[in-house]
Chain A
Amino acid sequence: MTTVSTPVLPRARRRVPESLRSPLTAVGVVVAAVWLLVVVLGPLLQPDDPLAQSPDRLAPISAAHWFGTDSLGRDVLSRVIAGARISIPLSLLLVALSASVGSLLGAVAGLLGGVVDEVVMRVADLVLAFPTIILAMVIAAALGPSLTNAVIAMLVVTWPQYARVTRSLVLGARDREFVVAGRLLGIGWFTSLRRDVVPNVVGPVFALTTLDFGNAILLLSGLSFLGLGTVPPTPEWGLMVSDGVQNFTAWWVAAFPGLAICSIVLAFNFIGDALRDALDPRMQKAVGSRAL
């Protein structure tokens, strides 16, 4: 997947790569844009108070409640919209944190080498020795169920992949001819790092964050579903689906928040896939030479 890339030429003529112009990418961008709009407009779009209970429990889809009501008579549509303002910003924050921490550690490990490298990478190996949600669950349970603890648990389990990718990119870039040539020409190590190494690392890491955003949403809602993330009555999507488990005959209670998760994750995966293809020159070559 993402590996060492060929040099990124600054100020080179760049056109929009073919992979970014596919219909799938367009669908992804549109869906993501709609969700971002929902996050921004939020309360303006809610037909009802997402926390207001009513005696009208588990009411099916109707003109009054487009998505029906849940076990406490709350309007599901309003809660799905309110949920966007929880899941999306929180997942963005998580990805930003984990990409920063992971990339920094990976870059330091790659550049310094030696003991630092060993320690960082072995800890990363250790974290990766557990399946993600199991470790996140164990940590969240140990810290006690709360949103903050869920985010901490998720951060602990997600940074290693960034560390690994960044480290291998830095190592690959550091020894390339044009980087070595630059240093031999006498530019300082910091300039070399900034101009030659960093541009080769940023692209693939950015593509990874896009793909990882979907995972963050899934992980957050998964933990909430298990009762280890957000706590009721927060209108969080995973929590709303778990309400639907108890009342599975009222399919709308779980179906709509689940669809919300599905659509935004899918959108970001479409975009992330295209970005990865576009930013990884090897994939471009694959696209250029039609195989077999």
Chain B
Amino acid sequence: MPPSGEPLTAEAVGAPAAPTAPDRARHPLLRYLAVRLGISVLLVWGVTLVTFVLTNLVPADPVAAVLGDAAAADPEVVAQFREELGLDRSLPAQYLLYLQRLVHLDLGTSAQTRRPVLDDLRDAVPATVELALFVLVISVVVGVGIGILAALRHRRFADDVVRVVSLVGISAPTFWLALIVFYVGFFRLGWFPGSGRLDTQLVPPPQVTGFMTVDSLLAGQTATFVNALGHLLLPGLVLTLYTVGLLARFSRSAVLDVLNQEYVTAARAKGLPSRVVTFRYVLRGALLPILTVVGLSFGSLLSGAVLTETVFVWHGLGQYAYQAATRLDLQAVMGVGLVVGITYIAINFVVDLLYAVIDPRVRRQ
């Protein structure tokens, strides 16, 4: 039974059709990719199972939550509602129904907005992604940079400073930091715009990408662009502090690990200039674990966004999830869970791909 990537193998290298077993061994990269893809697909399936179980096996009664207590007292209305949602069928049947809906991108209807969850998500996701990408770019440059610096200056002053700064970054509760930054930057100093993605008197640009900054540029509205960028700064700062701390810590220990490897000692013993040792041996070796953490930090950004968006009234995934969770709007909560879970899996898959590109050993396994 050839793995799913097999026909592609033959095509890609122009090998004759009907690949044989040794042939498969010669394309470990595609094999690796096929395995990774398979795992990702399994995980996505697992995520749907989790969201399904959580929506259906919970003590909280979705009927009462959606219809309100008055309607929930009327058995006829309840029965009709349960039938609509398929709640009267067996669990496996409900799960199949659920999957069927998912395949058609039907994530149900939000109880609080009375709109399809998919439409709500379509509005919310770009807001969060814009913030997350903004933070990620800055944090990768700064965090990885100071992490590497600390490792290369191990046990010296710079190392201690970076250690303390990064520990403070990951120790401060995001929701509190958001509040402090909001209070100081907006209320006290008035240097930055307050909550939301744009000042209220400004008209949002026509939605193309959903990114406020990009859309305003596309519409040629420079003033709106500047305003949108300003609104990114404070929530961005909060998330950046945390992400920089995270990345600096991991980059530092990744580089320290490599510094300990025998091939680095050997390189130095050969008399290679320290610049060569640092860039070609140490940093190259540390790239893989750092890459993994950058991928992971995107997930932590989504987590941090939940708490930060609540403070800054940033109409993204986090705020949507928070409102949904506190109002027992399970369809919406699970929609967020699905989107975030699948995004996370997709990022890990991309990281796995990059692994194979960077590290020849992965390809040869």
Interface residues of A (CB under 8 A from B): 1, 24, 122, 125-126, 129-135, 137-145, 214, 218, 221-222, 225-228, 238, 241-242, 244-245, 248-249, 251, 254-255, 257-258, 261-262, 265-266, 269-270, 273, 282-283, 285-287, 289-292
Neighbour of B152 across the interface among A125, A138, A140, A292, CB < 8 A: A292
A125 and B54 form a contact (CB under 8 A): no
Neighbour of B325 across the interface among A138, A245, A282, A289, CB < 8 A: A138
Other 14 A-B pairs with CB < 8 A, given A126-B50, A132-B303, A289-B260: A125-B43, A134-B302, A134-B321, A134-B340, A142-B54, A226-B322, A241-B176, A249-B187, A258-B173, A261-B176, A270-B167, A286-B257, A287-B154, A290-B154
B174 and A222 form a contact (CB under 8 A): yes
**CB-based closest 9 A-B pairs:** A258-B176, A141-B325, A131-B303, A266-B171, A142-B58, A265-B171, A131-B299, A126-B46, A133-B303
19 A–B contact pairs at CB < 8 A? A24-B163, A122-B46, A130-B50, A130-B340, A132-B303, A134-B321, A137-B322, A137-B333, A139-B54, A225-B307, A226-B307, A238-B175, A242-B175, A255-B180, A265-B173, A266-B167, A286-B257, A286-B260, A292-B152
B325 and A137 form a contact (CB under 8 A): yes
Closest to B345 in A: A129
Residues of A within 8 A of B337 (CB): 130, 134-135, 138
**Docked pose: A254 CA to B172 CA in angstroms:** 13
Let me know if B86 is at the binding interface, CB within 8 A: no
B154 and A138 form a contact (CB under 8 A): no
Neighbour of B256 across the interface among A130, A133, A286, CB < 8 A: A286
Let me know if B300 is at the binding interface, CB within 8 A: yes
Given contacts A129-B43, A141-B328, A142-B330, contact A218 B173 (CB under 8 A): yes
Residues of B within 8 A of A285 (CB): 260
Which residues in window 294-338 of B have CB below 8 A to A?
299-300, 302-303, 306-307, 310-311, 321-322, 324-326, 328, 330, 333-334, 336-337
Closest to A250 in B: B183
A286 and B168 form a contact (CB under 8 A): no
Closest to A144 in B: B60
Residues of B within 8 A of A226 (CB): 306-307, 310, 322, 325-326
**Docked pose: A126 CA to B182 CA in angstroms:** 36
B256 and A129 form a contact (CB under 8 A): no
A244 and B179 form a contact (CB under 8 A): yes
A142 and B333 form a contact (CB under 8 A): yes
Residues of B within 8 A of A289 (CB): 260
Let me know if B151 is at the binding interface, CB within 8 A: yes
B173 and A221 form a contact (CB under 8 A): yes
B259 and A291 form a contact (CB under 8 A): yes
Main secondary structure of the interface of A (DSSP, over half): helix
Neighbour of B179 across the interface among A1, A228, A241, A286, CB < 8 A: A241
Residues of A within 8 A of B227 (CB): none
Interface residues on B, range: 35 or more
**Docked pose: A286 CA to B264 CA in angstroms:** 12
A131 and B46 form a contact (CB under 8 A): no
**Closest approach, in angstroms, between the C-beta of B284 and any C-beta of chain A?**
15
Neighbour of B58 across the interface among A143, A255, A257, CB < 8 A: A143
Residues of A within 8 A of B43 (CB): 125-126, 129
Let me know if B344 is at the binding interface, CB within 8 A: yes
**Closest approach, in angstroms, between the C-beta of B160 and any C-beta of chain A?**
8
* Per-residue A-contact encoding for B188-207, CB less than 8 Å = 1, 0 else: 00000000000000000000
Residues of B within 8 A of A145 (CB): 326
A291 and B176 form a contact (CB under 8 A): no
B179 and A254 form a contact (CB under 8 A): yes
Closest to A272 in B: B167
Residues of B within 8 A of A125 (CB): 43, 46
**Closest approach, in angstroms, between the C-beta of A235 and any C-beta of chain B?**
16
Residues of A within 8 A of B60 (CB): 142-144
Closest to B328 in A: A141
Residues of B within 8 A of A241 (CB): 173, 175-176, 179
Residues of A within 8 A of B271 (CB): none
**Closest approach, in angstroms, between the C-beta of A125 and any C-beta of chain B?**
6
**Closest approach, in angstroms, between the C-beta of B128 and any C-beta of chain A?**
11
Given contacts A24-B163, A290-B154, A292-B259, contact A133 B307 (CB under 8 A): yes
A131 and B302 form a contact (CB under 8 A): yes
Closest to A224 in B: B175
**Docked pose: A283 CA to B54 CA in angstroms:** 42
